[in-house]
Structure 1
């Protein structure tokens, strides 16, 4: 059977679906193991999320990923994402990054476990725990998968819990730009700094913004803030873009639509606006981070051409 350290990996599950002539009938499911509880397991498959009661599982095992990115590619993308979401407090533990930002977002308040921490793994985790306790925060570790599988296995043994699986997805800008724009939508206004209404819409989903949050959002040299207003001047959609890293990745974040304006294509509209801005500055590819359980957002990004490059788990100390 599967174990907690298999979460975040590609697995195959043989499931009992019935009985015929006193013989069990089976079906196989292939996907990424998203969650494993005492009663069921959850897979992210090509057809969507599948939950399987453990009593129906005949056999299950980990299998090689369909397209395993090189470790260097995962590290490079994670570092570009870190630069695009810069925590005001930064320290290094070997090649690991320690980040703190008044507890605003897990990304900016977790240790990024990529590369060599310059000490044995157990000692590295001890050092992470001390650093965050000294900063008055609960220790968190961002563990990209499958690169950080040993980290995750050790954290399992130490009783660390896991937040929902996050997909790191990438796409080429060219198909986004080539897709026909939906007619009749208000323009995407791009600004070097966010307006008060932009901040207010973010706060509706992310909670009150501390000073650290504003430093994260504006602390990137190449960034842009997308605003879409309706005919009455009300803000109905936003997004943020940032270009970072040697490969000049466009990081897409905070794509949000007002409840009254959903299902009008505004999400695609603002991402296209960011893509146009980035392409003019020499970027050719984009990435974003989205929780696997946010199925509506995953579907939207899939329509834009985004696919999963790798995943990560944010782990919490007990």
Structure 2
């Protein structure tokens, strides 16, 4: 049977799915163990997240890892993503980065647990908790998987809960451009150094009210661009944000959003193509984005464009009180 130390590792689970003619029926699931509680386990498979009651588990074991990026590549990408979404308050705990931004988005208000915190793991978690409490915020830890599997296991022992699994997906920009052919039947993608008021309004429909600290995060990157797409009447129908950061010149795609009436026309693909062209002119060769695994429509869209999962992460929440 699996243990909490197996969280973050690749596992195979044989589960009982029924009985036929007095014979027990089984089904096997292969994926990354993302949660293990006293009642069930959750694994991230290629087809999505699967939650299995422990009483239905016939057999489960850790298996050799699938081909995955080196730890150094995961850390480099996470640091580039941190630079592209800059929390105004940041402190170091060894190599970990403690971030606060008035509770606007989990990314900007969680400790990024990559590298060595320069102290025993339990002491590091205590230090994170104290830092966030001093800033009047709930302690959160962003734990990339499987790199931070020991962190996740320790947080399980302390009763920390997990937000939905996030996929960090990447694509080469050259084939990405080929996958988005120019279309004259669609409105053009306008790229601006600063977002318009209607850009902020459209993002707020998805993210909620944007406080001043949110604007600071969204505009606080040196190499950044804001995509606007307007219909024939001048109404904004799609937006996105692109940022180039890190020594490897990663293009970070975020806040891609299309108005409901304008969906399924290829506009989102055109926006990504516009950001990719802009980034190419700045020396970028690779792009990344972050999307919740449960957002199946977005995952499917990005898959059609050539994005695939580089790694995943869990945002962990300290228990209340």
TM-score, length basis structure 1: 0.94
Is 1:297 the equivalent of 2:311?
Answer: no
- Distance, in Å, in 2 between the alignment partners of 1:248 and 1:216 is 19
**Matched residue pairs, number?**
318
What residue is the counterpart of 2:231 in the other structure?
Answer: 230
Deviation string 1:92-135 (CA, Å, 9 cap, x unpaired) is: 11111011111110000011111111111111111111111111
Shift in Å, 1:181: 3.5
RMSD, aligned CA: 1.9
- Distance, in Å, in 2 between the alignment partners of 1:300 and 1:4 is 34
What residue is the counterpart of 1:169 in the other structure?
Answer: 169
What residue is the counterpart of 2:210 in the other structure?
Answer: 209
Deviation string 1:251-310 (CA, Å, 9 cap, x unpaired) is: 010011111211112221111110010011110000111111111111111111111111
CA contact (8 A) 2:7 2:149 kept: no
CA contact (8 A) 2:166 2:314 kept: yes
What residue is the counterpart of 1:155 in the other structure?
Answer: 155
CA contact (8 A) 1:169 1:306 kept: yes
Q: Secondary structure at the match of 1:242?
A: strand
What residue is the counterpart of 2:185 in the other structure?
Answer: 184
Counterparts of 1:34-113 in structure 2 under 5 Å? 34=34, 41-113=41-113
- Distance, in Å, in 2 between the alignment partners of 1:132 and 1:10 is 32
Structure 2: where are the runs of 5+ without partners? Answer: none
- Distance, in Å, in 2 between the alignment partners of 1:256 and 1:9 is 33
TM-score, length basis structure 2: 0.93
What residue is the counterpart of 2:250 in the other structure?
Answer: 249
* Closer, same or farther: CA 241–5 of 1 in aligned 2, 3 Å: farther
- Distance, in Å, in 2 between the alignment partners of 1:134 and 1:224 is 35
Q: Secondary structure at the match of 1:15?
A: strand
What residue is the counterpart of 2:309 in the other structure?
Answer: 308
* Closer, same or farther: CA 41–243 of 1 in aligned 2, 3 Å: same
What residue is the counterpart of 1:198 in the other structure?
Answer: 199
- Distance, in Å, in 2 between the alignment partners of 1:272 and 1:5 is 41
CA contact (8 A) 2:169 2:288 kept: yes
Q: Secondary structure at the match of 1:315?
A: strand
- Distance, in Å, in 1 between the alignment partners of 2:187 and 2:69 is 39
Is 1:146 the equivalent of 2:152?
Answer: no
* Closer, same or farther: CA 125–169 of 1 in aligned 2, 3 Å: same
Counterparts of 1:266-285 in structure 2 under 5 Å? 266-285=267-286
Shift in Å, 1:171: 0.5
* Closer, same or farther: CA 53–282 of 1 in aligned 2, 3 Å: same
Shift in Å, 1:215: 0.9
CA contact (8 A) 2:109 2:140 kept: yes
CA contact (8 A) 2:169 2:311 kept: yes
Q: Secondary structure at the match of 2:287?
A: strand
- Distance, in Å, in 1 between the alignment partners of 2:176 and 2:157 is 43
Which runs of structure 1 show a deviation greater than 6 angstroms over 4 or more consecutive aligned residues? Answer: none
* Closer, same or farther: CA 254–3 of 1 in aligned 2, 3 Å: farther
